[in-house]
Amino acid sequence: LSCRFSNWASNEMAVRKIVPATFLSPNLIECTTPSWGVADLAELTIIILGSGLDLSHRDDGYESLLTFAFVRPFELHSIKPNNGFVAGGTDIVINGGHFSDVHGAVACAFQWSRASIEAPALASFEATVVSDSIVACSTPEAPSKGVADVSLVYGGDEFHLRG
């Protein structure tokens, strides 16, 4: 059982990578994406030849299930302003690169870790992608005065300001 990622762009060389897949249930197959050199769409095909699983409706043993998007990782360069009120509501702008909400929502995450807080507090709020280099959001109410780490969350990934 395998997952095949393919790009058959007419003007480019075809890219084809096959990775192992795991059968988790009749409705769930898991595979880890391979490294992909560029931000691009890829056809994802589940290969079931010789697996004993009856998931195919075609004679060749393949069924194309979906298109998978490889995207560039977000880059965070700066946050302005870099302070706000404990009550929250400060509008901030995050400058960086490769921002997009085409494949899902983007959120600003704020994490506090002061000794006065029993466990690190985390708050996440919807962000607005203004352009491929600007994301805007508002600060939440803070549990106390102090410094918060700010990151962007997109899908299952979290991107931090490089320091």
Distance CA 148, CA 114 (A): 9
Strands (E), 54-156: 62-70, 75-80, 91-97, 106-112, 121-126, 128-131, 134-138, 148-154
Handedness of CA 107, 113, 117, 120 (dihedral sign): positive
**Residues linked to residue 68 through DSSP beta bridges, in sequence order:** 42
Could you read off the pLDDT of 94-149 as tens digits, one per residue? Answer: 999 999 888 789 999 988 866 445 545 677 789 999 999 999 999 998 888 888 88
pTM: 0.68
Q: Which tokens belong to 134?
A: 């600007």
Rounded-to-integer distance, Cα 34 and Cα 17, Å: 7
DSSP reduced 3-state for 82: coil
Could you tell me which residues come within 8 angstroms of residue 93 by beta carbon, excluding any fewer than 6 positions away?
Answer: 79, 80, 130, 134, 135, 136
Residue pair 53/135 in contact by the 8 Å Cβ criterion? no
pLDDT of 13-50, one tens digit each?
567 888 888 888 887 888 888 887 777 777 777 766 55
> What amino acid is encoded at 141 in this protein?
E
